[in-house]
Structure 1
Amino acid sequence: MADISATIPRRQLGRLLRDLRQGAGMTIAELARRIERGATTVQRLETGSADRIRLWDIEAICQVCGADETTTAALKGLAQEGNTQNWWHQYGDLIPMNFDVYMGLEAGAARLTSFQELVPGLLQTPEYARTLTQLAHPSEQEGEIARRVDVRIRRQTLLTRKRKPVPLDVILDQSALDRVIGGRRIMDVQLRHLADTGTRPNITIRVLPFGAGVPLGDLTGPFTILDFPQSKHDMPIEPSMVYAEGFAGAMYFEDLNVVERYRQAHADLGQVALSEQDSRQLLRDKAREYAE
């Protein structure tokens, strides 16, 4: 059975608390004194190692550090998820979008390895992203839809920034090329964007063709493996993990054996996927079909 660890939201909370404290110009000892707690308590909160998180402590830290209402609500939401014994990330409004656990992990990743059945968010055009967002949130106002799309597009700077762009290795199921999202013009632009983006040195895009059948004898569903940079002591700042997204929520797997199973699954899919060059050709051919 895979380990679904509550330490993930705790570590996310810890990073945000540390940033909040440092932004307020306080030491751990000073913050601890002002909230009338021990320095060890604050340190454990910031390292994600606290066994139990008191919401009062989080609220007190936010008040002392001058956090706004949105930030305070986000950190309290993370604290509640961190207190859950068997944690998974359920979609909802407990944590505001800008504090999403996955986005925090993604932003700190050194490498992303993925299998997807839709164009992943990091490679979506604004029009493709807008269509999916409107379908997923049909009752939301246009302003909120625009904000969600903007967050998704801004995440893409991870891949395009000049300094240390994150390597991304994506295997894309061919169904993503045939499933029309938003109309033929949007699909034309999206597939051309994929073909062009795949020429970047840090991005690998390969298509798993229908002709490959079911190479693993079962369907894995979409997943992303996140690997993290090394610390000064040659240890990763986070353990490698798998993010497996579903309709009602997402699961995070840190267990080494499970991560390696997914890594092997990606390698096996890569053995039967089209080459990068053939994938780009297929993407351009399909785009031309939509343009006709």
Structure 2
Amino acid sequence: MPEWTNSLTLLREYISNLSESLRLSTENESFNRYKHILFASLCAAYDKVEFCEEVSSNPLLEDPIKKGREFIRSMAKLSGIGPMISGESILYAVERAKKILEKGKKKPFIVLCDGLSLPEYAYLYNKFSKKISSDGLLYAINPGGMTKTYEYLTSIFLESPSGNISMGILGEILKERFEAAGSRVFRTIDELVHKSQVEKFTDIFSMASSLYRTVENIASEVSILLEDYRVLILSDHGYDVSSEESTWYLYHKFSSGKPCLSIFSAMLVIG
């Protein structure tokens, strides 16, 4: 599957280059790191002046943002090929993750994050980079950008029982496939996404603060799990950001003809 492999290489280059640039250029305070990661990812995705201005003062971020743009375009191109390549990307990523986890002495633990997008993926890598190999950076394509699309494709390509599948059931299916100690679903990001459509953010910094609190809570739980397990993090889809009358909100679905982070389905092996 050379198209997906090339896209995966671009993702790994973006994530590792971004993390290294931040290590060299920003203070160690975690919220500031997340803020830079968020705005760099959103600048790469949409090229909006509000996001790009926040990272333009740091010349070390120029190359990572270029890599981010290349990856996002590549992912969008692949998603347009059809559900077959999307489903195969899930299968390929799962099988690669399984091979990595089989090499470890600790049992794996499955963490499913509803709505975890590219900025949070990059932040988790930055936070746990010493425990992540380049092979552990994986992703799949969700062409609809919705939970049900992911559940449908997963049930088919992982040969799971069809019917009323959910994220909780999917966690149990993956637990069995990976012979994992357990599984857990985090819904806080997706809940924030839907809440923001009603109670919109007044500026991009309040948005960043809210997103940071959700991902930092996930990171804290992952830190505890890593004491006993290797952790496989998966997401069903990402989210996109839009503005309306000087306010900002999050949403997730495929947007035809537009840069789209909703179709990003994260997969990350830590430990």
Q: TM-score, normalised by structure 2?
A: 0.29
Q: State the structure with bigger RCO (CA 8 A, min sep 6), 1 or 2.
A: 2
Greater Cα radius of gyration, structure 1 or 2:
1
